């Protein structure tokens, strides 16, 4: 019985990590999902749709990271950041709201927790976008 309880806690923890990661990459994930659905409905099959969706998501994140890293204008960088971060912040808010709806009886505290969760996911998405991409440059000791 204790083993099942510990396994349940571990599975809930893994589900939270997965949900947090998907919330952080909300825009590329949704673009990949939309591309996969389009490919599947046009007859690409399940495997082809998965490949198309995965490729679209990776390309979307790569383009956003490239634009964020290469643009010099602060206004344009801010716009690219907003395009990436706003869907992630909304997804983070909804993720915390789905959990807090059952656990927090007070509406005020529920909203406070949801806003904090949304901001945390948005900041995480911004930091992942702003992280420098190491393309394999040799390091000297």
Q: Domain for residue 82, yes or no?
A: yes
Tokens of 108: 């005020």
Decide if 123 contacts 81 (C-beta within 8 A): no
Tokens of 106: 């007070």
Whole-angstrom distance, CA of residue 2 vs CA of residue 74:
54
Domain hosting 96: range is: 23-130
Question: What mean pLDDT comes out for the span 18-25?
Answer: 74
Q: Domain for residue 68, yes or no?
A: yes
Predicted local distance difference test score (pLDDT) of residue 50: 93
The per-residue pLDDT for range 37-53, each reduced to its tens digit, is 999 999 989 999 999 99
Whole-angstrom distance, CA of residue 132 vs CA of residue 65:
9
Q: Domain for residue 100, yes or no?
A: yes
The per-residue pLDDT for range 50-98, each reduced to its tens digit, is 999 999 999 988 888 888 788 888 888 888 888 888 888 888 888 888 8
Q: Domain for residue 140, yes or no?
A: no
Whole-angstrom distance, CA of residue 87 vs CA of residue 42:
27
Q: Domain for residue 137, yes or no?
A: no
Q: Domain for residue 141, yes or no?
A: no
């Amino acid at each position: 019985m204790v083993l099942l309880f510990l396994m349940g806690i571990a599975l809930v923890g893994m589900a939270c990590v997965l949900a947090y990661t998907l919330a952080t990459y909300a825009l590329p994930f949704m673009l990949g999902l939309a591309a996969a659905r389009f490919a599947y409905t046009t007859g690409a099959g399940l495997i082809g749709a998965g490949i198309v969706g995965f490729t679209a998501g990776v390309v979307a994140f790569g383009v956003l990271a490239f634009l964020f890293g290469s643009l010099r204008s602060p206004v344009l960088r801010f716009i690219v950041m907003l395009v990436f971060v706003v869907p992630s912040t909304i997804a983070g808010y909804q993720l915390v709201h789905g959990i807090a709806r059952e656990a927090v009886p007070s509406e005020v505290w529920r909203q406070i927790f949801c806003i904090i969760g949304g901001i945390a996911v948005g900041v995480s998405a911004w930091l992942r976008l702003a992280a420098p991409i190491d393309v394999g440059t040799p390091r000297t000791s």
